[in-house]
Structure 1
Amino acid sequence: MSTALVEREPGTSGSRPGTRRVLVVALALIALQVTIRGVLAFRGEFYWDDLILIGRAGTYPLSSPELLNYDHDGHLMPGAFAVASVVTWLAPMQWWPAALTLVVAQLVASLAVLRLLWLILGPRRVLWAPLLFYLFSPLTLPAFAWWAAGLNSLPMQAALAWVAGDALQLARTGRRRHAVSGIVVTLCASAFFEKSVLVPFVAFVTVALLYRVDGVRRPLRVAWQRAHPLWLGSGVVLAVWAAWYTTVVASRFGVPPWSMVAGLTHHGLSYGLAPSLLGGPWQWDRWNPSPPWADPPLVLVVAAWVAVAGALVWSLRCRTRTGWVWIAATAYVCASLVAMISTRFGPETTYELAQTLRYFADSSVIVAVAAALVLRSAERRPSGVRSRAVALACVVAFVVSSVWSTVTFARSWTDNPTGEYLATAMDALTEHPQDPVLDHPVSVWVLLPVTYPHNLVGSVFSSLPGRSDISDHTTALSVLDDRGVLVPAELMPLRGVLPGPVPECGYAVTDDVVTPLLLNEPAGDWEWTVELHYMAADDGAIDLGFPGRPRVSVPVTEGLGSVYVRIPGGGAALQVESATPGLNVCIGGGSMGVVVPS
């Protein structure tokens, strides 16, 4: 076959009005998708990792390495933290700018997918089919609605399509600006999600497969030769990024037991990915504070696998040279599975994790591209009227199924206590800003203790203007309850400070001696709250903490007083020292435990 086939653009011989009609319908579909997703986004609220993003954005400046280089549960995502910082600066603790970023990112991704499909199929009505799949498939819903997940996934989806489009343009025209564009987009996507290392490989495979279905000899070699500036430039970007990633991020890759591999694979494919190919799962389940997961009926699971098998048979029988398209798409899905299983398995991992779909969101682009390549390939058997009617019926059924899955997802997703909790807590913390609040965890229905220290009130509300001072010491206890209401609190004592050796003083604290405060029994490593009763000769401060751990500077006032201090660590004794030169303090005793609502 002549390499001239590489340059052919399907459908370009059509009339200009026909071309315009295809484009107008495609843009209208994108507008409809963005409208639906916009309603979903603006009805949402911050959730889980979102609070970690805005908490760190409120704690560190935009240019801070502590913000941009943070190892977030195995993710290196400076781009996402930068966006969170801008959003937090624009409207602290407000959801609307975060929702807007999701809608804009989705629009960019959808337009990038349309561009790629246009480059593969040209202005043909058949383009609408793979575009409809990408736009309305519930496969991308969970990663879209959750801001932190969307900041990972949506830039990658856009990059997968855009860089593949640049690669096709570079191969066809030889214009170096497409190489520059592809390299820049790859770099930007890598700043949001480490999985974006796959972007150049997907672009290369897309070009090679297009040559393959066009009948070009040695498609891999031709793909390399015609777009090698993009591949070489991307290689440099990935090498630099890999060095950065391995320096910053602690590896979370491991080898799970076979039972875990089999369970997560089965649930991820049969209950997650496969039903979404038919617009499923139709229904979702949820246990707050976990995200929703797909819960398809058995009939949909069976129908999905039958449909996949049927599409494979039809493709191999009716379209030329499409076998490698299926192999490549399957390999990508398997790579997503491997990444999820090897980094997220553990003794407490449930199989429902694989049904949350967010680990397969970028596969929606791959499926759309694979479908476009199959549709581009030459027909062995021309389609008749009956075949076109069946195809139209399948498209209508898919859209109806997807819309219903979107509706049911929205119902499940809006069952999120975080929004109401945050609104109530913000009112409580700004009502009496002159009253300090001891730092403490937010409700477990909002963030679990495993996210410590980002589950602390001081982190979550770090950007809230006009709030009470949230610190590690106070003279009066109050906490946010599970509703977000600020209520009086008390210390539940679990340990006690033994009486001191100095008569009528207890423990004599000076600025030149570290004084141990003995506990009635050793304390485990924890975030403890200590209540101390003291008598100070003057106003000043003391440093309090466990051996080998950071100390907390605690202000004291002249005369008798009591103070509550939040201290990390553990051991058989606390250590205290005067932080004010010449200050003498007597500590008569105290207790240590956890703070609970009165």
Structure 2
Amino acid sequence: MLSRGTVSSVAIALILIQLVVRGWLAATGNFYWDDLVLIGRASTLPILSWDYLGHSHDGHFMPAAFLLAGLSTVIAPVNWLVPAISMIVLQAIASLSVWRMIRVIAGPRAGVAALAALTFYLFSPMTVPAFAWWAAALNTLPMQAAMAWIVADAVLLTRSRGRRPDARMIVIRSSVVFVIALTFFEKSLFILPVAFVAAVLAARFTGRPDDDAPPEIDSEGDAGAARPDSALIRAFTGARALWASLGVVFVAWAVVFFSVSDATAGQHSATQTMRLVWRSINDAVIPSLVGGPWEWERWVPSPPMGFPPVWMIVLGWVVLAALVWWAITRRRGAGAVLLCTAVYVVGAQIPVLWNRSSANTALELAQTMRYLPDAALVITIAIALIVASPATAPGEAARHGGATEARRLAPVIVPLAGALAVVSAVISLVSFSTSWRDDPTGDYLANAKRSLAANRDHPMFDQSLPLEVLLPVAYPNNQISHTFGRVRDRPDFAATTDRLNVLDNAGNMVPGAVTPARTVRPGRGSCSRPEVTGPRRLVLDGPLLQWRWTVAVSYCADMDGDVDMALDGGRTVRVPVRAGLHVAYVQLEGRGRHVDVRPVTPGLTLHTGEGRVGEVAEARLVG
């Protein structure tokens, strides 16, 4: 039997090991997809405005996550260090909160069993993908920390029958924690039912207000919801102030969420949802029970997907069956815990996968495992509850055979099995990390920041990020003006420039050119006899459709000044010109067969030569 001090020391050591491993994972990662969307919005909107904080991001209402992303972007724009630190800090809070919850549920004498529950949470592959992805971590880590904290508080109140001297403070702090979690992720609404069910299950075999006292078995066991003092009634009455407070927050936040969010938008398929749920259970949850999957593959720009071999899936089911058999035959009331856990693990995935269940959704989406961190935590709660439950009667256990032998071997088998599972989980994490790093985003962003700094003296046109970094569906947040909007050492993004530079797919600044969708006919004058002395039309060799076009036109001006340029149906853009022979690059919206030009500076005249109207591309790609 391990002492309390030893158990606590081992737990802290395990948490530190997890944080070191997660720190390595964060340090070797970088921004990905939604991270750039968060940065783009934080770079173009005031981070304290409702337009920014209240935005429905892909169906999520997450003002606190937006605020944290905004602060990170303001402090260190497009710098991975601050997000990586925020992920590690949030993980540390979540892990410590989970250990507190396990100690409250299982009791201080649980020893090795409590450490087993903690180890499962700390190293489960189900929590890895959502941690590595910053945008997902901002959602799920606060939810995990809050769920663990509130479950522990609910059990404390239930066991004390609400008579603790700090009961009011417990209610206040849990309510505040609940609100904070909801501001990061609306899925935190699940915390209330999870906490209530956990309190009911914990109340079946304990009635003492002293948390350090060993569990006390009720005279009627877990038999009766009909008794006046049943577990359900004890859980409800013992923490009724907590349920009332959390219930008000739950309803209010649900109303706000459905008023603001567009989570139900788009096409959905019940059949596809069920397929996704089954794929998630069979190919993600089950292999994770034995530390899998070991193989992760990535189809850029998608996130990594786990592909467990058949033997690992079969082994996972065998291990699950063995654990279920052991729990039911060795622990009283374990069946109810297992049933509630299964309902959550399956049921909690249905809303999010329904929201992703268009007919064209690939089933491999469920194998990314980013929707499973809360499921891992609920399984951890189940382990703690089963550990806290009293053992079955000796005669009943003996009927299942091997009870004495199992107790004798348990001190050896449990640590060995746990060590093997941890090693397997580390193999999975290393494989995931290798796949996660197979992404061009980090290198592109680093190269782009260097290139922008080196060319900061010349305005440049906005352009899209490479397709493998962010697809056009994220427009306008796939524009470099959004991604690098708060970067200080960069050129201005403008509608006109005298040097056409573009970022290539690697983020390097290279010469640009305009594709010849249409050509601009030269003026009939010359540098010595400029023809543009007032409003004039530059004739094109064909019509333009309504679009944002880039115009490249050579000119010879007699002085520095400004001219206005426009297409039919578009706004006028003021273009600076310099004395002598130069080229002006201008982005204009509109259509038509000509470009309108009008000198603005008094006395300015110029001659226009040949030009092009088209799209901006790398010069090496344009003939």
Normalising by the smaller structure, the TM-score range is 0.7 to 0.9
Query: Which residue does the alignment assign to 1:162?
Result: 149
CA change 1:172–1:46 in 2 (3 A) is: same
Of stretches 104-113 and 448-457 in structure 1, the one that deviates more from structure 2 is 448-457
Of stretches 55-64 and 551-560 in structure 1, the one that deviates more from structure 2 is 551-560
Of stretches 314-323 and 268-277 in structure 1, the one that deviates more from structure 2 is 314-323
Of stretches 531-540 and 152-161 in structure 1, the one that deviates more from structure 2 is 531-540
CA change 1:494–1:359 in 2 (3 A) is: farther
Query: Which residue does the alignment assign to 1:411?
Result: 434
CA change 1:582–1:281 in 2 (3 A) is: same
- Give the TM-score normalised by the residue count of structure 2: 0.83
SS across alignment from 1:564: strand
Query: Which residue does the alignment assign to 2:443?
Result: 420
Query: Which residue does the alignment assign to 1:136?
Result: 123
Query: Which residue does the alignment assign to 1:491?
Result: 514
Asked if 1:285 corresponds to 2:270, the answer is: no
Partners of 1:298 and 1:524 in 2: how far apart? 55
Query: Which residue does the alignment assign to 1:195?
Result: 187
Structure 1 residue aligned with 2:18, among 1, 21, 33? 33
Of stretches 479-488 and 64-73 in structure 1, the one that deviates more from structure 2 is 64-73
Of stretches 257-266 and 73-82 in structure 1, the one that deviates more from structure 2 is 257-266
CA change 1:170–1:483 in 2 (3 A) is: same
Of stretches 488-497 and 428-437 in structure 1, the one that deviates more from structure 2 is 488-497
Partners of 1:297 and 1:331 in 2: how far apart? 26
Query: Which residue does the alignment assign to 2:490?
Result: 467
Query: Can you list the C-alpha shifts for 1:505-531, whole angstroms capped at 9, x where unaligned?
Result: 899859xxxx99999456376x54344
- Give the TM-score normalised by the residue count of structure 1: 0.86
Please give the residue correspondences for 1:375-454 in structure 2 after superposition, counting only pairs within 5 Å.
Answer: 375-380=387-392, 381=397, 383-454=406-477
Between Structure 1 and Structure 2, whose CA radius of gyration is higher? 2
Query: Can you list the C-alpha shifts for 1:263-287, whole angstroms capped at 9, x where unaligned?
Result: 3223212211211121110110112
Partners of 1:148 and 1:499 in 2: how far apart? 52
Query: Which residue does the alignment assign to 1:127?
Result: 114
Please give the residue correspondences for 1:571-582 in structure 2 after superposition, counting only pairs within 5 Å.
Answer: none
Partners of 1:104 and 1:248 in 2: how far apart? 29
- Look up the equivalent residue of 1:203 and give its one-letter code: A
CA change 1:347–1:493 in 2 (3 A) is: farther
Query: Which residue does the alignment assign to 1:60?
Result: 45
Query: Which residue does the alignment assign to 1:564?
Result: 585
Please give the residue correspondences for 1:450-529 in structure 2 after superposition, counting only pairs within 5 Å.
Answer: 450-494=473-517, 520-521=542-543, 523=545, 528-529=549-550
- Look up the equivalent residue of 1:426 and give its one-letter code: K
CA positional deviation for 1:81: 1.8
CA change 1:573–1:69 in 2 (3 A) is: farther
Contact 1:506 / 1:589 at 8 angstroms: preserved in 2? no
CA change 1:414–1:395 in 2 (3 A) is: same
Of stretches 383-392 and 105-114 in structure 1, the one that deviates more from structure 2 is 383-392
Query: Which residue does the alignment assign to 2:617?
Result: 596
Contact 2:73 / 2:486 at 8 angstroms: preserved in 1? yes
- Look up the equivalent residue of 1:554 and give its one-letter code: R
SS across alignment from 1:189: helix
Please give the residue correspondences for 1:269-308 in structure 2 after superposition, counting only pairs within 5 Å.
Answer: 269-308=281-320
Contact 2:555 / 2:583 at 8 angstroms: preserved in 1? yes
- Look up the equivalent residue of 2:476 and give its one-letter code: P
Partners of 2:545 and 2:77 in 1: how far apart? 38
Please give the root-mean-square deviation of Cα atoms over the aligned residues, in Å.
Answer: 3.3
Please give the residue correspondences for 1:544-563 in structure 2 after superposition, counting only pairs within 5 Å.
Answer: 544=566, 547=569, 551=571, 553-557=573-577, 563=584
Asked if 1:114 corresponds to 2:110, the answer is: no
Partners of 1:26 and 1:62 in 2: how far apart? 39
Long gaps (5+) in structure 2: 207-221, 398-402, 524-529
SS across alignment from 2:489: coil
CA positional deviation for 1:336: 3.0
Of stretches 372-381 and 398-407 in structure 1, the one that deviates more from structure 2 is 372-381
Contact 2:519 / 2:613 at 8 angstroms: preserved in 1? yes
Query: Can you list the C-alpha shifts for 1:204-247, whole angstroms capped at 9, x where unaligned?
Result: 11111212455374333332222122222222223332333233
Contact 1:538 / 1:583 at 8 angstroms: preserved in 2? no
Partners of 2:599 and 2:189 in 1: how far apart? 51
- Look up the equivalent residue of 1:353 and give its one-letter code: L
Contact 1:134 / 1:365 at 8 angstroms: preserved in 2? yes
SS across alignment from 2:263: coil
Contact 2:270 / 2:354 at 8 angstroms: preserved in 1? no
Asked if 1:22 corresponds to 2:7, the answer is: yes
Partners of 2:542 and 2:151 in 1: how far apart? 67
Partners of 1:552 and 1:291 in 2: how far apart? 43
Of stretches 53-62 and 37-46 in structure 1, the one that deviates more from structure 2 is 53-62
- Look up the equivalent residue of 2:20 and give its one-letter code: T
CA change 1:254–1:63 in 2 (3 A) is: closer
- Look up the equivalent residue of 1:444 and give its one-letter code: L
Contact 1:553 / 1:579 at 8 angstroms: preserved in 2? no
Partners of 1:258 and 1:373 in 2: how far apart? 33
Partners of 1:29 and 1:355 in 2: how far apart? 27
Partners of 1:229 and 1:585 in 2: how far apart? 80
Of stretches 183-192 and 443-452 in structure 1, the one that deviates more from structure 2 is 443-452
Contact 1:530 / 1:566 at 8 angstroms: preserved in 2? yes
Partners of 1:183 and 1:259 in 2: how far apart? 37
Query: Which residue does the alignment assign to 1:10?
Result: none
Query: Can you list the C-alpha shifts for 1:396-433, whole angstroms capped at 9, x where unaligned?
Result: 22111111111111222222222221111111111131
Query: Can you list the C-alpha shifts for 1:48-101, whole angstroms capped at 9, x where unaligned?
Result: 222222232233333122321222222222212211222223323221111111
CA positional deviation for 1:27: 1.0
Partners of 1:358 and 1:505 in 2: how far apart? 64
Long gaps (5+) in structure 1: 1-13
Please give the residue correspondences for 1:223-242 in structure 2 after superposition, counting only pairs within 5 Å.
Answer: 223-242=235-254
Query: Can you list the C-alpha shifts for 1:364-409, whole angstroms capped at 9, x where unaligned?
Result: 1111001111222222225521344333332122111111111111
Query: Which residue does the alignment assign to 2:213?
Result: none
Partners of 1:375 and 1:82 in 2: how far apart? 39
Query: Which residue does the alignment assign to 1:309?
Result: 321
CA change 1:577–1:149 in 2 (3 A) is: farther
Partners of 2:293 and 2:522 in 1: how far apart? 64
Report the count of equivalent residues: 574
Asked if 1:152 corresponds to 2:173, the answer is: no
Query: Which residue does the alignment assign to 1:6?
Result: none
Partners of 1:151 and 1:248 in 2: how far apart? 19
SS across alignment from 1:409: helix
Query: Which residue does the alignment assign to 2:212?
Result: none
CA positional deviation for 1:30: 0.6
- Look up the equivalent residue of 2:441 and give its one-letter code: T
Query: Can you list the C-alpha shifts for 1:257-307, whole angstroms capped at 9, x where unaligned?
Result: 355234322321221121112111011011222211111111101111222
Partners of 2:521 and 2:254 in 1: how far apart? 54
